[in-house]
A and B are shown apart, each in its own frame.
Chain A
Amino acid sequence: MEATLTGKMDNTVAGVANYDVLVIGAGIAGEESALKLADMGFRVLLIEKEPSIGGKMILLSKVFPTLDCAACITTPKVSETARHPNITLLTMTEADSIVKEADNRFSVVLKKKPRYVVENDCTGCQECETVCPMVVKDQYQFDLVARKAIYIPFNIANPRVALIDIENCTLCGACEQKCPSNCIDFTQKEEQINVTVKSVVVATGFKLFDPISIDRYGYGKYKNVITSMQMERELAPTRPFNHILRPSDGKIPEKIAYIFCTGSRDHTVGNPICSQVCCMYSTKQAQLLMGALPMADISLYYINIRAFGKGFNEFYLQAKDMGASYVKGKIASVSEKENGNLLLRYEDVATGKVTESEHDLVVLSVGLLANPAITKVFKNATLEMDALKYIKQTNLLQSPALTSIKGVFVAGTATAPMDIPDTIMSAGAAAAETSGYLNQWS
């Protein structure tokens, strides 16, 4: 099925829409670049493979070191992105191929996955969810709770439109009968959209490290070992339990451990570098936990504390002053007791002794990994990667948004792990480089 875009394009030649910029990825970097370019008057096509925009930040609790509410900051930006007259937004859409033409334009083939819900007709009432009989793990709550097979990703999702997880759908038709606006459409198919753009901004972000590959930490085996992203959800305003609970028995934890550098600075998992944010987000979570559970003990097991940014060291010292216990020592193993508590075995560097300590909840401070799939989309030019498969910045010091392809720019964590303020700055730099390139063009 082939579709064409209507609306915010400069002209249409033989059913192909033309834009100034294609921004790939609508997390905070993609949004920021798109908004900056759109404000300058460029026509932007913003694509996102997920059903809603805002990336990972919209799912966070608070941001460090200011402890501002992440969702409160992200939602207005998301809303502005979605309604900007110069931005055409396509969700559930991925670039399938990008070919650089002789006139320096890029011919892009996009694939838009079906929602099985007519986007323009869905009112977001969630009546369909009430009748859907299928219950599956909710990936937006990082499997802490369940969702239905037809669902709106989360309550501040934008667009607030339902979609059907067709792999888990039994095609019973209950949602179709219940929907007050008749917008369920099981006949939808993947659409192919062809566009031509003058430039591309790659803002494909990062992947979170999956700690299941580190057997000694017991993630996936012991219920009370969770990831920092799961704890992030437990602390977020849109939290699933409205309290901090450990998964095995719903008990309020009293002794929580953090294991730093899970999947970072670790050659054995193929990620030898520091993920830049884990020390600080763990410190942030420790502070939030001490606020939510005043009686709980929080121990943070670390290799080195890297509190290098503006206000970071003060933030770390503040956590210590609040009572967080920082223990220098890498965890050798985690084992489970009958009551679900966990025994951590480690060498305490301060005493030089191998020590064991018991905790009732263990949080793994997982690292950030490259997300290199986008490089395969470029067909007749090579989007080079660095040794760790992040997009290579060909002029890191003077023009950090340049890539190995002229007209293709990079923003945010697609280049390397970084925190939110650096991501926003990187996205601004990419927008500035792109506008300079486009102005040269004209």
Chain B
Amino acid sequence: MATNVQPKILVFSTEKISDPALDLAGLLKKHYPVTIYTISVPCSSGIKPRWIMRAFEKGFSGVFIAADGTDCSYGESCGEKTSQIVTATHQLMRDKGLKPSQLKMAAICSVCAEPVVKHLTNFMKELEKMQS
């Protein structure tokens, strides 16, 4: 169904590493879509699949996990654990008729302002295509 409404993306960022990158993107006046909302968590491995599913229920078209990768101060296996959460959530999404590509994850460092904007802008384009 075609619609003119811009898709909404919920970003889970980590308070010490990827959140400063999103903050920096704003400080450097990088342009990214206005329908991107962020929730800061201590570590991405603590995100629950039901939180992601709730975001979809509440009208978000996409969820982006800005993870820390091996840099995470809570443990080197953070990236691995987060990808397990993504895999488990993909199954739940399929069950609900959602596409796995509506949930993305990438490792973002504290000053990765440009990469995070690129990730989110591309993700938004994909979602727009999906919506049209």
Contacts and interface: CB of A to CB of B under 8 A. Distances in A.
B98 to A, nearest CB: 33
Interface stretch (A73-81, A90-98, A183-191, A353-361): A73-81
Given A71-B111, A72-B112, A155 B20 contact: yes
B34 interface: no
A237 B112 CA distance: 8
A79 B27 CA distance: 21
B20 A75 contact: yes
Interface string A237-268: 11100100000000000000000000000000
A71 B110 contact: yes
A71 B113 CA distance: 12
Interface string B15-37: 01100100110011100000000
B29 to A, nearest CB: 7
Interface string B35-70: 000000000000000000000000000000000100
B29 A242 contact: yes
A40 B68 CA distance: 25
Which of A75, A78, A236 has most chain B Cβ within 10 Å? A75
Given A76-B72, A155-B24, A69 B17 contact: no
A155 B73 contact: no
Interface residues of B, number: 18
A242 B74 CA distance: 32
Interface in A53-94: 69, 71-72, 75-80, 82-83
A237 B113 contact: yes
Interface in B67-103: 68, 71-74
B9 interface: no
Candidate in B29, B73, B110 with the most chain A CB atoms within 10 angstroms? B110
A412 to B, nearest CB: 21
Contacts of A239: 28
A274 interface: no
B110 A72 contact: yes
Interface centre among A158, A236, A238 (most CB of B within 10 A): A238
Contacts of A80: 73
Contacts of B110: 71-72, 75-76, 156
B40 to A, nearest CB: 10
A76 B17 contact: yes
A239 to B, nearest CB: 8
B24 A238 contact: yes
Contacts of B113: 237
B109 interface: yes
Interface of B is mostly: loop
Contacts of B73: 76-77, 79-80, 83
- Size band of the interface chain A makes with B: 10 to 19
A71 B111 CA distance: 7
A120 to B, nearest CB: 15
Nearest to A71: B111
B70 to A, nearest CB: 9
A237 B27 CA distance: 11
Contact of B23 (A69, A72, A83, A155): A155
Given A76-B68, A79-B73, A80-B73, A238 B111 contact: yes
A66 B49 CA distance: 39
Contacts of B27: 155, 238
A311 B28 CA distance: 33
B17 A75 contact: yes
A72 B113 CA distance: 11
A426 B20 CA distance: 30
Contacts of B29: 242
Nearest to B111: A237
Contacts of B112: 72
Contacts of A76: 16-17, 68, 71-73, 110
Given A71-B110, A72-B111, A237-B113, A79 B28 contact: no
A156 B17 CA distance: 8
A250 to B, nearest CB: 16
A156 B111 contact: yes
A69 B71 contact: no
A232 to B, nearest CB: 14
Contacts of A77: 73
Which among B20, B27, B29 has the highest number of chain A CB atoms within 10 Å? Answer: B20
B54 to A, nearest CB: 23
Interface of B: 16-17, 20, 23-24, 27-29, 68, 71-74, 109-113
Interface of A: 69, 71-72, 75-80, 82-83, 155-156, 158, 236-239, 242
15 contacts: A71-B109, A72-B109, A75-B20, A75-B109, A75-B110, A76-B72, A76-B110, A79-B16, A80-B73, A155-B24, A155-B27, A156-B110, A156-B111, A158-B16, A239-B28
